[in-house]
Structure 1
Amino acid sequence: MATFKNPQIVLFSQDVERTADFYKDIGFIEVFRTPAEGVPIHVDLTLDGYRIGFAGETSTRDDHGLAPIVAGQRAAVILWTDDTSQAYARLLELGATPVKAPEPWLSDLLIAWAEDPDGHLIQVVQHTR
């Protein structure tokens, strides 16, 4: 029986390079790019063992025959931190669009929401206890 391993998520992007650069500025490390030269159609990055990829909308449609959705709040990247307010401010400095400033949630979390350059939601969250 086949086994599954090394899960990751791939989000569709209108500008793979711009979005990959944004996540590299946060601290992700690029581990895969195709093509190796020129404008990429796919880039994978990692942070703390988590792998995220960005696939170009056009390539996904033309190469794979799929219908990617590249607009709207269709997914969220969750980034845990020890300082939500500082992390949220950093995202905004890097060009993220503010969605919701830091606020308490449940009994022990502080969360904030922003959008990356492609409009994917990013939640920064910390435990307050």
Structure 2
Amino acid sequence: MSLFRTPHVVLFTRDIDRASAFYQALGFEEVFRTPLAGTPIHVDFALDGYRIGLATEASTRDDHGLTPVAVGQRAAVILWTDDVPAGYERLIGLGARPVKPPEPWLDRLLIAWVEDLDGHLVQVVQSVS
């Protein structure tokens, strides 16, 4: 029996409403928020059994005494799809910054990279034959 369970990643953001709207537009469903009224300081989303959280930079600093970094390429959200070019264009249409257009990798994958609205890397990937 494992000591740990239910892992998920939390990304830090300076604009939680904007970041939340971005991930909801990708199909993530909100499963938790605090506080319930007004602008949240933390929101969790789920997609296909995977959970991702967003926490405000200010709350992480003020509530927990940490020094979060809310910009730059610190982590990557990986989104599998059956159509990388369409996924890449959808992300760009939602305001993501293009990093690398679709290209083959390892002779069995097609991948593309963007940065979300806070600079977190998002990779769109599909298996190809």
Q: List aligned pairs for 1:65-80, cutoff 5 A.
A: 65-80=65-80
TM-score of the aligned structures, taking structure 1 as reference length: 0.97
Higher mean Cα deviation, 110-119 or 2-11?
A: 2-11
Distance 2:89 2:71 in 1: 24
Structure 2 partner of 1:104: 104
Give unpaired runs (5+ residues) of structure 2. none
Count of aligned pairs between the two proteins: 129
Provide the alpha-carbon RMSD of the alignment.
1.2
| 1:121 pairs with 2:121 | yes
Q: Give the share of equivalent positions with the same residue, in percent.
A: 64
Higher mean Cα deviation, 103-112 or 1-10?
A: 1-10
Distance 1:108 1:2 in 2: 33
In the TM superposition, residue 3 of structure 1 has moved relative to its aligned partner by 2.1
User: Are the equivalent residues in 1 in contact too, given 2:42–2:56 (CA < 8 A)?
Assistant: yes
| 1:14 pairs with 2:18 | no
AA of the residue aligned to 2:28: F
Give unpaired runs (5+ residues) of structure 1. none
Q: Secondary structure at the match of 1:92?
A: helix
Distance 2:91 2:36 in 1: 27
Structure 1 partner of 2:62: 62
**Displacement over 6 Å in runs of 4+:** none
Distance 2:17 2:54 in 1: 9
Distance 2:52 2:107 in 1: 29
User: Are the equivalent residues in 1 in contact too, given 2:78–2:123 (CA < 8 A)?
Assistant: yes
Q: List aligned pairs for 1:39-50, cutoff 5 A.
A: 39-50=39-50
AA of the residue aligned to 2:8: Q
AA of the residue aligned to 1:67: T
In the TM superposition, residue 16 of structure 1 has moved relative to its aligned partner by 1.1
In the TM superposition, residue 107 of structure 1 has moved relative to its aligned partner by 1.1
Structure 2 partner of 1:82: 82
TM-score of the aligned structures, taking structure 2 as reference length: 0.97
